[in-house]
Amino acid sequence: MSELLSPTYTRADEAFDCLQTAIVKGELAPGEKIGELELCSRFDLTRGPLREALGRLESRGLLVRRPHAGVKVVSVSASELMELYRIREVMEGLAARQAAERMTDQEIADLQATLDTHERMIDEAQGQAYYQAEGDYDFHHRIATGSRNTKLAQMLLGDLYYMVRMYRYRLSTSTGRPQRALGEHRRIVEAIAQRDGELAEFLMKRHINAARQNIEKKIQEGDISI
Amino acid sequence: MSELLSPTYTRADEAFDCLQTAIVKGELAPGEKIGELELCSRFDLTRGPLREALGRLESRGLLVRRPHAGVKVVSVSASELMELYRIREVMEGLAARQAAERMTDQEIADLQATLDTHERMIDEAQGQAYYQAEGDYDFHHRIATGSRNTKLAQMLLGDLYYMVRMYRYRLSTSTGRPQRALGEHRRIVEAIAQRDGELAEFLMKRHINAARQNIEKKIQEGDISI
DNA sequence: AGCGGTCATATTGTCAACAATATTGGCTAA
DNA sequence: TTAGCCAATATTGTTGACAATATGACCGCT
């Protein structure tokens, strides 16, 4: 995963990546109590690097540790998931505004090309929730990076997205409104291309708010459970 | 520090708290390259727990590690500090809005009493930048907690505030506008007391924006340097 | 029979020795 | 004289063993 970024890749990094993807993909179920030695044998690691990775993951809120009592994957309630979307709303709104001010023309062109790819993906693989979710993630990822706000991108990419993706995998459902979401994405990119930060922020906030309400409705209807 | 929260306090927790406060207080200067054994002797720790703490701190962005090349305290440029304030603006705006919706009457009363204390502090200890900064921190801390948004509070209290406080210590200067800030605090609490979330959000955003501009001006005037 | 306490066990926290790697200084050659 | 390379060194990464503690079962008491 990150072995491309850092020339030397330590076991602790390896442990961190393995555990993070395992948690996100739901291979380690939320609330599941899990022993260190079990994790070691499972991922072929030794306890030292593993514990370092556990510390990082705890600090990021993906799991909780109780001294001498083991570690368990964090389980987030429905209401807490909704709170995550409230945070995303304001933070990604800011990201969109700053992206409109700072992205290069090339980056914007790439972003538009990305949306074309997403459109084909939706047409071809109709209902393939997984790929839709990945496309959505790609879009938001690019805007976070494009904000040129290091800490903002770090918080979005390093904290929030992992928790949100964790629930995407668990629910194995995308927003369920792919073409509508794509349209919203297009309008956001349009605002960015016109360097209209204020509009980009407004549209992004509305986009995420709509996604939140969509999930909230599904939960209330009992379509999905957490 | 956290030994009150968790009944069992491990060496790793101790290491984490020690290092964090040392970084925040500037005892470990930004950019300073620092060896593990030196840290061990300095805080009377062994390398195991220390490394676990280093992993956590790296994950929170307070220091950076390069494999086999050591660890150094993160150094934030002036522009990055300004970016932090942009993030605070939107996140604390959200916190204020949710606090207005969710704080108990008791908490609001306590918050108002806190402001009275701050007022006395400003009168008595005129120009005592340190205590003013602590009062300011207390105010924002209570609102973050009052939002009842676990992740939001975690991100504010566990990430952003430490970085901001780090620069407060380094610059050893509060905003330099204590009574004006206090007035803004009062108006925010007023909005919260009236359960006007929208207004609370607006006022909080303006409050932080003003603080940012204030620092920006000082930097441009050369009053303070980073 | 239900509850509380105690003890064995398994798991986590901690430590110190070993291996691997980046840095730094000196040396050689152009 | 300077640039580049090489080796010695010190520092970090890793490992396995040891110590401390929470869990859970068993037994005695009420």
How far, in Å, are A19, A103, A205 from residue A192 at the CA level?
36, 8, 14
Report the length, in residues, of chain B: 226
Q: What's the pLDDT at A36?
A: 92
On whether any CB of chain B is under 8 Å from the CB of A87, the answer is yes
Comparing A104 with B120, the larger pLDDT belongs to A104
Q: What's the pLDDT at A118?
A: 86
Comparing A127 with B223, the larger pLDDT belongs to B223
The CATH number assigned to the domain holding A43 equals 1.10.10.10
Residues B88 and B169 in one domain: yes
Whether A2 maps to a domain, the answer reads no
Integer Cα distance of A206 and A217 in angstroms: 16
Nearest CB among B52, B89, B160 relative to A55 is that of B52
Comparing A225 with A40, the larger pLDDT belongs to A40
Residues B88 and B190 in one domain: yes
Q: What's the pLDDT at B41?
A: 92
Write out the residue range of the structural domain in which residue A101 sits.
78-221
Residues B182 and B146 in one domain: yes
Q: Which of B112, B111, B79 is nearest to B220 (CA)?
A: B79
Whether B204 maps to a domain, the answer reads yes
Q: What's the pLDDT at A4?
A: 39
Final residue before a domain boundary, out of B73, B94, B116? B73
The CATH number assigned to the domain holding A164 equals 1.20.120.530
**pLDDT, tens digit, 9 for 90 and up, residues A54-79:** 999 998 889 999 998 889 999 888 89
Nearest 10 degrees: CA dihedral of A209, A215, A218, A219?
-120
Q: What's the pLDDT at B5?
A: 45
Question: Highest-confidence range of A6-15, A123-132, B200-209, by mean pLDDT?
Answer: B200-209
Verify if strand C has an atom below 7 Å from the CB of A36.
yes
Band (pLDDT 50/70/90 cuts) for residue B20 is very high
Q: Which residue of B has its CA nearest to A62?
A: B151
Verify if strand C has an atom below 7 Å from the CB of A53.
no
Residues B109 and B65 in one domain: no
Which of A:140-159 have CB within 8 Å of B? 149-152, 154-155, 158-159
Residues B59 and B86 in one domain: no
Query: What is the enclosing helix (H) or strand (E) of A70?
Result: strand A70-73
DSSP string of B16-55, one letter each residue: HHHHHHHHHTTSS-TT-EE-HHHHHHHHT--HHHHHHHHH
Residues B197 and B109 in one domain: yes
Tokens coding A68: 């001498």
**Is residue B4's pLDDT more than 50?**
no
Final residue before a domain boundary, out of A40, A73, A106? A73
Closest approach of A76 to chain B, Cα-based (Å): 10
Final residue before a domain boundary, out of B54, B73, B92? B73
Average pLDDT, chain A: 88
Weakest mean pLDDT among A127-141, A196-210, B20-34, B181-195: A127-141
- This model of the complex carries an ipTM of 0.89
Residue A11 · residue A17 · CB < 8 Å: no
Band (pLDDT 50/70/90 cuts) for residue A24 is confident
Paired strand residues for B50: none
Verify if strand C has an atom below 7 Å from the CB of A47.
yes
CB pairs under 8 A between A and B: 91
Angle at B151 between CA A155 and CA A136, to 5 degrees: 55
Neighbours of A14 (CB within 10 A): 19
**pLDDT, tens digit, 9 for 90 and up, residues B150-162:** 999 999 998 899 8
**pLDDT, tens digit, 9 for 90 and up, residues B182-219:** 999 999 999 999 999 999 999 999 999 999 998 888 88
> For B14-31, what is the mean pLDDT?
90
**Is residue A1's pLDDT more than 60?**
no
Residues A64 and A153 in one domain: no
Domain count of the fold of chain A: 2
Query: What is the enclosing helix (H) or strand (E) of B147?
Result: none
Average pLDDT, chain B: 88
CA dihedral sign of residues B123, B125, B126, B129: negative
Please enumerate in sequence order all residues whose Cβ is within 8 A of that of A206, keeping only pairs 6 or more positions apart, or say none: A184
On whether any CB of chain A is under 8 Å from the CB of B87, the answer is yes
Whether B35 maps to a domain, the answer reads yes
Whether B172 maps to a domain, the answer reads yes
Residue reference for tokens 């970016």: B83
Whether A122 maps to a domain, the answer reads yes
Tell me, in Å, how far CA of A28 is from C1' of D18?
A: 30
Q: Are strands B33-34 and B70-73 parallel, antiparallel or unpaired?
A: antiparallel
By the 10 Å C-beta count (0-12 exposed, 13-18 middle, 19+ buried), A2 is classed as exposed
Whether A37 maps to a domain, the answer reads yes
Q: What's the pLDDT at B93?
A: 98
Q: What's the pLDDT at A144?
A: 98
Residues A208 and A118 in one domain: yes
Residues B198 and B104 in one domain: yes
Verify if strand C has an atom below 7 Å from the CB of B35.
no
Q: What's the pLDDT at A155?
A: 95
Q: Which residue of A has its CA nearest to B67?
A: A8
**pLDDT, tens digit, 9 for 90 and up, residues B106-139:** 999 999 999 998 888 877 766 566 667 788 889 9
Whether A86 maps to a domain, the answer reads yes
Band (pLDDT 50/70/90 cuts) for residue A174 is low
**Is residue A226's pLDDT more than 60?**
yes
Interior/surface letters B54-68, b for 16+ CB within 10 angstroms, e for the rest: bbbbbbbbbbebeee
Whether A226 maps to a domain, the answer reads no
**pLDDT, tens digit, 9 for 90 and up, residues B40-55:** 999 999 999 999 999 9
Comparing A84 with B132, the larger pLDDT belongs to A84
Residues A205 and A150 in one domain: yes
Residues A101 and A163 in one domain: yes
Tell me, in Å, how far CA of A106 is from C1' of D1?
A: 46
Decide if B151 and A61 are in contact by the 8 Å CB cutoff. yes
Residues A28 and A100 in one domain: no
Q: What's the pLDDT at B40?
A: 93
